[in-house]
Structures are given as structure tokens and as C-alpha cells.
Amino acid sequence: MSITAQDVNKLRKMTGAGMMDCKKALTEANGDFEAAIDLLRKKGQKVSASRADRKTSEGSVFVTTDAAGVEGILIALNCETDFVAKNEEFQALGVEVLNMAVSHNPESLEDLLALPAGDITLGEKIVELIGKIGEKIEVSAYERLKADKVVTYIHAGSKLGVLVGLEGSNGSDVETAGKDVAMQIAAMNPVAVDKDQVDTTIVEREMAIGREQAIAEGKPENIVDKIATGKLNKFFKENTLLNQAFVKDSSLTVSKYLEGVHQGLTVKDFRRVAIG
């Protein structure tokens, strides 16, 4: 059958796909709009598969908290180029993914992508946008954090986001302190809140490195472990949040800074997600 310009324009408005893609899909589907839409989706799936090995080192992080400020949600939406990252549809998709995470509270990233977005799933909607834009797009992170007070931070460029959960505020206004600590996390990238939360494999690795360094320096065997322990403690001081020097006042640790803001105030947990 003959495909008119009006038909092409109608399908383009329905799907947002390019005019030539719409015309080709309608031609293959013999003018059946539903079949044409399915063909466009399949095109998106093919684009997605063909670009599966492409690096998605650009994109944006999106964060929010609930009305009470006790739960934070963060998602990272990745793409291949900065040009696409600034695309209005890409940004709108990021906001939609975040809002769906807030509304449905899925347990995992897989559950988030399986949520309905109209008559298709969110994952399928992302595939459709891949087909339209011609570039790999993926949700690379989905994080939730609950605490007495959750504060969010997005670094300039929106490629790095932080959630920090504070406890011990007792209703005090700790928003500014939370922002300060979130910026600390963004800048210093700690491995854990405190030394007790550092993964045992990291502790073992640091001890092994410390021993090897001590032996290489010709230290006596009977003090190798002592030297390694000293190096481990230095690692904790530099790489665990509460023990780090506070970036805004190096005479204080983060722990001491928070204690000065409000007695008993501390960090329960944090999430840090960076793109690229």
C-alpha cells in the first residue's frame, strides 16, 4: 500500500523516531501502525545489541529525597557522548527513572527496569531511545539510603552524586553539615565510614603491602607486622570518612567536625556514584 507523508508524520509523533525510520517501518508493516511501532522497537533492540560493547562514560546522576528527608534515592543514567548526555530526551528519561524509583521502591536495578512505563517496561523504553538516538544508554546505578537525615549532593557537571545518611541529629538542622560531608565524600572518595566497615579483603591487602614494603626496606622480621599495622592505621586515617581530615578545616577530622555541629551527630552510611 502507499505510505503517505501524513502517515509518516503521525508515526513520528507517536514514537519520536526519525522520518526515514518511520517510513521504512510503515512500508515493512504494510501501513499497520502497531506493527510499525514493533519494528521500530526491534530496531532499537538491534542498536542496543550492536553497541553492547561500547563504553558509556558520559551521562548524568539524578538524586532526590523523600518529603521527610529520611530516605535518599540516586540513579545514574549513562550514554556514550556528552552531546547525548545534554539531550532533553535523555535528561527527561533520567528524571522519569528517578521518579519511578521513588514511586515504586523497587528492590534492585533489575526490578526498576522491569517496571511498567506505559504499555512497555522501563527497560524497553530505554531500548526505544537507543534506537532513536543510535547510542548506547543504560542505567548503571540505583542506590537507596535511609537514615535520621539524608542529604544529597551532585557535583558540577552532574557526573558525580552522593547520598550521605546522618544519625544523632535529634531534629536539629544539619543540612549544611550534611552538604559539607557529602562534598568531602565526593572529593576524597573514602572506602568506608569508619575502619570497622572496611572490607576484610582490603585490610588483608593493605597489611600484605605493608609487610612487603617493610621487608624490602630491610626491617627486622620481628617488627614487620608492627610496621604493617602502622601503615594500615595510616590507610584508615586517609581513606575512612570519619577519620579523614575535614577538607574545610584540616585541623579537624570529619568526626570532630560533626561533633562540633551537634553532639552525637555522625554518619551512618553513604553512597557515592561517579560516571566515567
Mean pLDDT within 1-23: 88
Contacts of 141 (CB under 8 A, 6+ apart): 61, 74, 75, 76, 109, 273
SS3 of residue 209 by DSSP: helix
More confident residue, 273 or 128: 273
Q: What is the pLDDT of residues 129-175, one digit of tens each?
A: 998 898 999 999 999 999 999 999 999 899 999 999 999 998 889 99
Topology of 52-146 in CATH?
Tetrahydropterin Synthase; Chain A (3.30.479)
The kind and range of the H/E element at 165 are strand 160-167
**pLDDT at res. 13:** 84
Residues 212/217/222/226 CA torsion (nearest 10 deg) = -70
Which CATH code of 1.10.12.10, 1.10.8.10, 3.40.605.10, 1.10.3720.10 fits the domain covering 5-50? Answer: 1.10.8.10
**pLDDT at res. 17:** 83
Q: What is the pLDDT of residues 179-228, one digit of tens each?
A: 999 999 999 999 999 999 999 999 999 999 999 999 999 999 999 999 99
Instruction: Write out the DSSP string of 74-126.
Output: EEEEEES-HHHHT-HHHHHHHHHHHHHHHHH--SSHHHHHTSEETTEEHHHHH
Question: What is the number of residues in the chain?
Answer: 276
- Residues paired with 162 in a beta bridge: 153, 272
**pLDDT at res. 50:** 87
- Residues paired with 8 in a beta bridge: none
Mean pLDDT within 97-112: 97
Domain edges within the chain = 5-50, 52-146
SS3 of residue 228 by DSSP: helix
In 3D space, the residue among 274, 269, 258, 272 whose CA is nearest the CA of residue 71 turns out to be 269
Mean pLDDT within 67-91: 96
